[in-house]
Amino acid sequence: MIVGNKRFKDPIYGYIEIEESLITQVVDLAEFQRLRDIIQTSYSPLYSSALHNRFVHSIGVHHLGRIAAEAFRKSITVRSLEIPEMIDQYIETFELACLLHDVGHAPFSHTGEQFYLYKGDRTRLHKMMADLTGDADLEEEIRNEAYKAAPHELVSAIVALQVFGNMISDDLKSFFARCITGYKYTKCMNIDKSCKNCLIELLNSKVIDVDKMDYLIRDSYVTGFDTVAIDYMRLLKSIYVEEEQGEYNICFDKSAVSVIENVVYAHDAERKWIQNHPIVLYEAYLLENIMRRLIEEVFQTENLPIESLLKEGITVERLGRVRLIGDSDIRYLMKNLQDDSFVDEYYCRKQRKHPLWKTEAEFQAIFQGEEKKLEFIEKELSELKKCLTSLGLPFIINRQALNAVLEETKKIEKSISNADDKERKRLEGTLRANQTHIKWINVFESFAEQNKEELDFEFLILYVDQFNSGFRKQEFENLEIIFPELRKPCRFREVTNVLKAEKSKGEKYFYIFYNRKKAKETLSIAGLIDSLLTLSTNASVERRLV
């Protein structure tokens, strides 16, 4: 241990050393300590021990980042490649970015980050980040980049520059922000910029990076979810820098092929079996609705103000000053909400809805051989969702939704007689759509009536992205592997057969949740599925006849 450094005992890596200067200037500051109150994952409803936070994850990523940076520097030196004059400053900035890469995470992590965006748009955040870096090229490069950083990454870069910007020289602020957000340099490329791009990839890439490695290892350890082992030291020590056409690229030695496969296996398993589990998705659904109401009532806006993450905070009319906002603040505020069914369900799990099926595999089995009908069902349910949203209702199929659509249909029928030709045509189209919506709602009403002892007439539908393995990412296929006996690197797809996995059918699937009246091991859903498939056939025929 170096004198003056501080040691953290980590259950995964053992003792982690951090320089005293980083402790006093970063770790001990309020904005970084806030991360102790930001839960790392939304997995606790499924794995009750998954209570680790963004603080310990950030310390872990910094630890792995130092190992990766050392291997990166060693590869350049051993291979006698051109060493950028400012390599020490680049690595120091990279390691600081590793430590601060999550400093802007919202309460409840990924569940809350959507509230950073204004109507789903990143433009405001991109401009704030570009202004703080002083990089005239950054906004243009972002516009031309197909990849868009996650909201929490953009806010983390902004908060880090606002609070810790004095630790970064002006000419490296853009590089620091790019490390966190993953936006690589694309203009006027040279050895210097390609060296920076290599370091950016080591923290934020679409394939292998120290952020993913820590959360995969840590999530598996904390949850107890059994997956493949990841030999992080073997992988990071195998980092290899290759020069090609005047630019540096990150490659990996052949000894790391098995570990690379394990990283993606672990990522795929966590995403498919935990992140997409209906219990996890339902908890996120409850929190999203609670946070949406709280933000609107507390801040009088649709967005979570970045200022609320800082020590200075923001003054709001109802509460006074809100600062260093975290999970516990949201929990306190939600307890004070009056007559909120989402809060009731969040705290009283007995009231929560239950999924009719529990996995994507079960969904695929239910609709096997009915892909065309399923596509039509998904389209009709999507149209029903738009209809209910336009009526100011959530996408919950129940008596309230049925009555609202029936009432709207009556209004349209009355309006048609007095409308001109153009308006009448529009109203007739809306009328037909509403009549179709009523038929779909009636299917669920009939299912509830047939099973009235087990469930209520109230169904929630949540859509999920179809699982697609990380093995199909083009970037992963093109990952370069070094075989010293060969003259040039090989693409990963050329040295493994794991990339031949079949692509999932469709882009999304859905879960249907219901209110259970009494505990029952199984509930027959065959009648509901048959009715949905039959209605899809009839509705498809009717649509062709219109």
CB atoms within 10 A of CB 254: 18
First to last CA, the chain: 78
181: closest CA among 134, 223, 141?
A: 141
Query: Is 129:179 a contact under the CB 8 Å cutoff?
Result: no
The pLDDT of residue 524 is 87
**Long-range contacts of the stretch 385-389 (C-beta < 8 A, 24+):** 385/461, 387/433, 387/434, 387/437
The residues with which 316 forms a beta bridge, in sequence order, are 320
DSSP 147: -
Query: Is 209:202 a contact under the CB 8 Å cutoff?
Result: yes
pTM, full prediction: 0.91
Strand order, beta sheet including 455-465: 354-355, 508-516, 455-465, 396-398
Residue with tokens 């959360």: 215
The pLDDT of residue 227 is 86
99: closest CA among 41, 154, 33, 51?
A: 33
Cα–Cα distances (Å) from 263 to 1, 95, 258, 381, in that order, read 30, 22, 9, 37
**Domain 6-278 sits in CATH 3.40.50.300:** no
The residues with which 18 forms a beta bridge, in sequence order, are 6
Which tokens sit at 496?
A: 């493994």
Which tokens sit at 316?
A: 């709001």
- The full set of domain ranges for the chain reads 6-278, 353-467+504-546
Helix (H) or strand (E) holding 480: strand 480-482
For the purposes of burial, counting CB atoms within 10 Å of the CB of 430, is it exposed (0-12), middle (13-18) or buried (19 or more)? middle
Q: Classify 134 in phi/psi space as left (phi over 0), alpha (psi -120 to 50) or beta.
A: left
CB atoms within 10 A of CB 507: 10
182: closest CA among 145, 226, 214?
A: 145
- What gap in Å lies between CA 412 and CA 430, rounded to an integer? 8
Q: Which residues contact 362 (CB under 8 A, 6 or more apart)?
A: none
Q: What is the DSSP string of 498-524?
A: GGGPPPPSSSEEEEEEEEESS--S---
The pLDDT of residue 497 is 66
DSSP 83: P
Residue with tokens 């929560």: 352
- What gap in Å lies between CA 46 and CA 48, rounded to an integer? 6
Our CA angle for 356, 359, 363, nearest 5°, is 70
Q: What is the DSSP string of 263-323?
A: HHHHHHHHIIIIIT-HHHHHHHHHHHHHHHHHHHHHHSSSS--GGGGSSS-EEETTTEEE-
The pLDDT of residue 540 is 63
CA-based radius of gyration for the chain: 26
For the purposes of burial, counting CB atoms within 10 Å of the CB of 397, is it exposed (0-12), middle (13-18) or buried (19 or more)? buried
DSSP 10: E
DSSP 29: S
Residue environment code for 357-388, b if the CB has 16+ CB neighbours within 10 A, otherwise e: bebbeebbeebeebeebbebbbebbeebbebb
The pLDDT of residue 499 is 58
The pLDDT of residue 543 is 60
**3-state SS class at 250:** strand
- What gap in Å lies between CA 432 and CA 438, rounded to an integer? 10
Strand order, beta sheet including 239-244: 239-244, 247-253, 480-482, 490-491
Give me the tens of pLDDT residue by residue for the chain, a chain 546 residues long.
565 789 999 999 999 999 999 999 999 999 999 999 999 999 999 999 999 999 999 999 999 999 999 999 999 999 999 999 999 999 999 999 999 999 999 999 999 999 999 877 899 999 999 999 999 899 899 988 888 999 999 999 999 999 999 999 999 999 999 999 999 999 988 999 999 999 999 999 988 999 999 999 999 999 999 888 999 999 999 999 999 888 999 999 999 999 998 998 899 899 989 999 999 999 999 999 999 999 999 999 989 999 999 999 999 988 889 999 999 999 999 999 988 999 999 999 888 999 999 998 899 899 988 989 999 999 999 999 999 999 999 999 999 999 999 999 999 998 988 888 888 899 999 999 999 999 999 999 999 999 998 899 999 999 998 777 766 677 777 888 888 777 778 888 777 766 555 555 556 899 999 998 877 666 889 999 999 999 998 866 566 555
The pLDDT of residue 31 is 98
Which tokens sit at 441?
A: 């709602």
44: closest CA among 106, 109, 134, 94?
A: 109
- What gap in Å lies between CA 68 and CA 199, rounded to an integer? 9
User: What amino acid is encoded at 265 in this protein?
Assistant: Y
CB atoms within 10 A of CB 214: 27
- What gap in Å lies between CA 208 and CA 236, rounded to an integer? 10
- What gap in Å lies between CA 101 and CA 153, rounded to an integer? 7
The pLDDT of residue 317 is 86
